[in-house]
Structure 1
Amino acid sequence: MASSPALREVQRDLETQANALSKLQKDIAKNHQVRKQYTIQLGENELVLKELELLNENANVYKLIGPVLVKQDLAEANANVRKRIEYISAELKRLDGTLQDLEDKQNSKRDSILKLQQKIQALQAGKSKS
């Protein structure tokens, strides 16, 4: 029993949509992984900021640059950590927007796949009657 050209075309469309859905799911997983790393970094930097705020003004602060500890001004260290927190927060916000967009696309692909599957079933049911 050979399948009709219309059925083959719909099956090809279904395969294309399924591949696109798979790619979207991989992108979402990658986005979640990157977001997790940024969330960890944000927590670490907030902890560093709290520690810096506990120090008195004349405390020695050192920054690790490669294998060397370099003395750094407390105000400068504070400013650097705050900038880092600001940057990481902005990246997290951007990632959330990207994630929402990817999830919307994923839902749209799922809907189109469902419609194609229903179309295939209708074509197969119509064919079996003839």
Structure 2
Amino acid sequence: MSSLQVIEAKLEAESRAFQQLQKELTQVVENRQRLESQQQENEIVNKEFQHLDDDSNIYKLIGPVLVKQDKTEAETNVKNRLNLIASEIKRVESQLTDLTQKSEKKKQEIAKLQMEYQQLATKK
């Protein structure tokens, strides 16, 4: 196998790895957007609790049924959900940073291999 073929094989492998990283990156971005949407919804609900009286009726949808819920319990659930979403967003952000760095590194490796390939191809 010539060195040109070796570099070509490496280039193909690196390109596939780069495409896989791009897919993962897209998926993580979608996850972050979904989490941000959930966070906004829960923040709206949390703000609405401030406008309610302590004796207001609050219902929670469980499957097809509305179940009456205590205001303090509902507020606690929403605050816990907000905390959970915030920590999940932090985790996804670090994952996003990691994948972005890996993607940039892979891009540089591909560029280097392409230069080597072109140099060898012009020598022949």
* TM-score (normalizing by structure 1): 0.93
Give 2:38's match in structure 1, choosing from 41, 48, 55: 41
1:28 counterpart (22, 25, 45): 25
- Structure 1 consecutive aligned stretches of length 4 or more whose deviation exceeds 6 Å: none
One-letter amino acid of the counterpart of residue 57, structure 1: D
TM-score by length of 2: 0.97
User: Does residue 1:70 correspond to 2:67, yes or no?
Assistant: yes
CA-based RMSD: 0.9
State which of 4, 7, 12 in structure 2 corresponds to 1:10: 7
> Secondary structure of the equivalent of 1:39?
helix
CA deviation string 1:14-37 (max 9, x = no partner): 000000000000000011111111
The unaligned stretches of length 5 or more in structure 2 are none
Deviation of 1:103 after TM superposition, in Å, equals 0.4
2:111 partner amino acid: L
Measure the CA separation in 2 of the matches of 1:5 and 1:78.
Answer: 68
Considering only CA atoms, is the larger Rg found in Structure 1 or Structure 2?
1
What are structure 1's unaligned runs of at least 5 residues? Answer: none
Q: Aligned to 2:24, what secondary structure does the other structure show?
A: helix
